[in-house]
Amino acid sequence: MLKATKESSAVIGIAGAIGALGGFLIPMTFGAPWIEDPVSAVKVAFGVFTGFYVVCPATTCFVYVRTVSFAGRAPSLAGANI
């Protein structure tokens, strides 16, 4: 029980750090003073963020949800009961 508590605390800390970094970087890309054309910068930023948000669930699905392994090289983690 104690090991699970420590592991979950570590995951919450890492997720919080990533969230805080995102809360800093996203507004910075929208209104940085060195950007000459803010409208195009916002368009590019939304494109990059959207691509990232599409890749994240796809990666999660590929690693944790799939049940088929590819030629035995990458076993599925779906049965790990995590």
Range of the domain at 23: 2-80
The vertex-71 CA angle with 67 and 75, nearest 5°, equals: 40
How high is the pLDDT of residue 69?
Answer: 57
Tally helices (H) and strands (E) across the chain: 2, 0
Question: How many structural domains does the chain have?
Answer: 1
Euclidean distance between CA atoms 12 and 53, whole angstroms: 19
CB 66 within 8 A of CB 76: yes
**CA 23 to CA 13: how far, in whole Å?**
15
pLDDT tens across the length of the chain (82 residues): 567 677 788 888 888 888 888 778 777 767 677 778 878 877 887 888 889 889 988 888 887 776 665 555 555 555 555 5
Q: Quick one: pLDDT at residue 23?
A: 79
